[in-house]
C-alpha cells in the first residue's frame, strides 16, 4: 500500500508541472527518467509543506518512504524528494551507519552527479560526523571501489566540514584516485572526469581553511594530480 506521503508527493508534482521546462531539464541532466518540469525552488517549497504535513514517527517508516519514493520514481523529481526527505533536519538522528545501505543504493543506482553530490555532501557527511570511526573506515574502502560514484562520494563527504575536516581521511581517499605513475588498463579507473573534478573540489574547499597546506599538497603530488584537479584545487588560492 502506497504511503500517504508518497501519494502526496506524486500528487503535488502532477499538479505543478511545467511541460516546457521538462524536456530541457531532462536533456541538461542527461536523464533516462523524465522530469515533471518542477524547478528546484518550487520543489523545496513543496517539500517544506508536504514533509511538515506528513511527519514520520519511526526510523523504519522514514526508510520505507524514502525507498518507495526512490525505487518507484517515474519522474526525477520523486527521487529528489527522497533525497530531501532523508536530509531533513528533523530526521538527523536517523542518519547513522544503519542508514548507509539506503544511501549507498541512492549513489549506485542514481549514478549521476546531481544525486551523488547531494547524498555525499549531506547524508554521508552527517553519518561521518555521527559515527566517525566506522564511517571513516568505510570511506577508505569506498575510495578504492570499482564503482566511480562511491569513490566520488568518499572524496566529497567532508565538503561541508571546514575546520573539522579529517585531513588523514581526505588524503587517504584521494591517494588511490591519483593518476598512476605509469598508465595501465587496470589503473584507468582513477582517471575519470568526475573523480578528477571531485579531488579538486575537495582540496579547494579545504583551501578556505588552510591554503598553505593545499598548496603544499598540490606541489608534492603534482605529477599525479590531473591538470583539472590542480586548477580546481588552486582556484581560490
Q: What is residue 113's predicted lDDT score, i.e. its pLDDT?
A: 97
Q: What is the pLDDT of residue 237?
A: 87
pTM: 0.94
1-94 belongs to CATH 1.25.10.90: yes
10-residue block means of pLDDT along the chain (237 residues)?
97 93 96 96 97 98 98 98 98 98 98 98 98 98 97 98 98 94 52 92 98 98 96 94
Say which CATH topology domain 111-237 has.
Answer: 1.25.10
Length in residues, the chain: 237
What pLDDT score was predicted for residue 17?
A: 87
Asked, colleague to colleague, whether 1-94 and 111-237 share their fold, the answer is yes
Q: Tell me the domain boundaries of the chain.
A: 1-94, 111-237
pLDDT (0 to 100) of residue 97: 98
Amino acid at each position: 500500500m502506497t504511503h500517504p506521503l508518497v501519494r502526496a508527493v506524486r500528487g503535488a508534482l502532477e499538479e505543478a508541472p511545467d511541460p516546457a521546462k521538462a524536456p530541457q531539464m531532462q536533456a541538461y541532466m542527461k536523464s533516462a527518467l523524465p522530469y515533471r518540469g518542477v524547478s528546484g525552488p518550487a520543489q523545496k517549497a513543496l517539500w517544506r509543506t508536504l514533509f511538515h504535513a506528513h511527519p514520520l514517527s519511526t526510523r523504519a517508516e522514514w526508510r520505507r518512504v524514502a525507498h518507495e519514493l526512490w525505487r518507484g520514481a517515474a519522474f526525477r523529481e520523486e527521487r529528489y524528494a527522497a533525497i530531501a526527505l532523508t536530509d531533513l533536519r528533523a530526521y538527523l538522528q536517523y542518519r547513522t551507519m544503519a542508514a548507509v545501505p539506503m544511501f549507498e543504493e541512492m549513489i549506485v543506482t542514481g549514478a549521476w552527479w546531481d544525486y551523488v553530490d547531494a547524498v555525499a555532501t549531506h547524508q554521508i557527511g552527517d553519518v561521518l560526523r555521527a559515527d566517525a570511526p566506522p564511517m571513516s573506515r568505510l570511506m577508505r574502502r569506498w575510495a578504492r571501489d570499482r564503482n566511480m560514484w562511491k569513490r566520488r562520494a568518499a572524496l566529497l563527504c567532508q565538503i561541508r566540514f571546514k575546520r573539522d575536516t579529517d585531513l588523514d581521511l581526505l588524503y587517504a581517499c584521494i591517494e588511490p584516485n591519483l593518476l598512476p605513475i605509469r598508465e595501465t588498463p587496470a589503473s584507468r579507473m582513477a582517471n575519470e572526469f568526475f573523480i578528477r573534478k571531485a579531488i579538486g573540489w575537495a582540496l579547494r574547499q579545504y583551501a578556505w581553511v588552510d591554503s598553505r597546506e593545499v598548496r603544499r599538497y598540490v606541489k608534492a603530488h603534482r605529477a599525479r594530480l590531473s591538470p583539472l584537479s590542480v586548477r580546481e584545487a588552486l582556484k581560490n588560492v
